[in-house]
Amino acid sequence: MRIVAFGDSITAGYPFGNWASWTTVLARELNCEVINQGIDGDYTAGMRNRFGYDVLRYQPSHVTIMGGSNDAAARVELASVCENYIAMINMCWENGIFPILCLQLPILETQGEYFLSQYREWVRSYANEHNIFLIDFHRHFLERVEAGQHGEIYCDLAHPSTAGYSLMGDIVVERFRTLFP
């Protein structure tokens, strides 16, 4: 199994670096190759544009796709984000890669969360309609936020703390073990 984790700063492990990312936990716990292709500040349009070089050249068996936080901060319309996701998913199918969609974390800022919630709902719906596996980071983080634990799992309004990245790693490992026993 070779996995490319594709996304923005939340995949990259910002502000700590790749060593702190949930992708490190996934690689260690599943004892497989995980190539972290998260780029700080990237939008879904940028992800779509770099998909060939940053994903296809590695010939992965699986790719996790999670983006949209920067789109939300810039108030990018839902239709544009959907178009970018669909293009990336289609590139997976066309190249024999198993896509896995990830639901973005809650943003602790109202305006960004408004847009991100639209993207998240679309990703969930699209995954269900097209039988694509989904990793729900959102639900687990929202439960912690609602319990008043946001200070433990976030280092700012959008990025996880090292404990938050560890939680993401636990979530993704559990889901992978469910999907691929």
Which of the four pLDDT bands, split at 50, 70 and 90, describes residue 181?
Answer: confident
Which distant-in-sequence residues (6+ apart) come within 8 Å of 39 by Cβ? 7, 8, 9, 12, 46, 50
Average pLDDT estimate for 118-141: 98
Average pLDDT estimate for 64-81: 97
The residue among 85, 76, 161 whose CA lies nearest residue 111 is 76
Are 90 and 31 in contact by the 8 Å Cβ rule? The answer is no
Average pLDDT estimate for 85-97: 98
Is pLDDT of 179 > 90?
Answer: no
Average pLDDT estimate for 16-29: 96
**How far is CA 114 from each of CA 65, 71, 108, rounded to the nearest angstrom?**
20, 11, 10
Is pLDDT of 28 > 90?
Answer: yes
Residue with tokens 């594709």, as numbered in its chain: 6
Would you give the DSSP letter of residue 131? T
Mind listing the domains of the chain with CATH numbers? 2-179 (3.40.50.1110)
Which alpha helices (DSSP H) does 35-161 contain, by range? 44-54, 69-73, 78-94, 110-129, 137-146, 150-153
Is pLDDT of 180 > 90?
Answer: no
Is pLDDT of 147 > 90?
Answer: yes
Which distant-in-sequence residues (6+ apart) come within 8 Å of 132 by Cβ? 89, 99, 100, 101, 126
pTM: 0.96
Summary mean pLDDT of the chain: 97
Average pLDDT estimate for 144-152: 96
Which of the four pLDDT bands, split at 50, 70 and 90, describes residue 69?
Answer: very high
Neighbouring-strand partners of residue 102 = 135
Which of the four pLDDT bands, split at 50, 70 and 90, describes residue 127?
Answer: very high
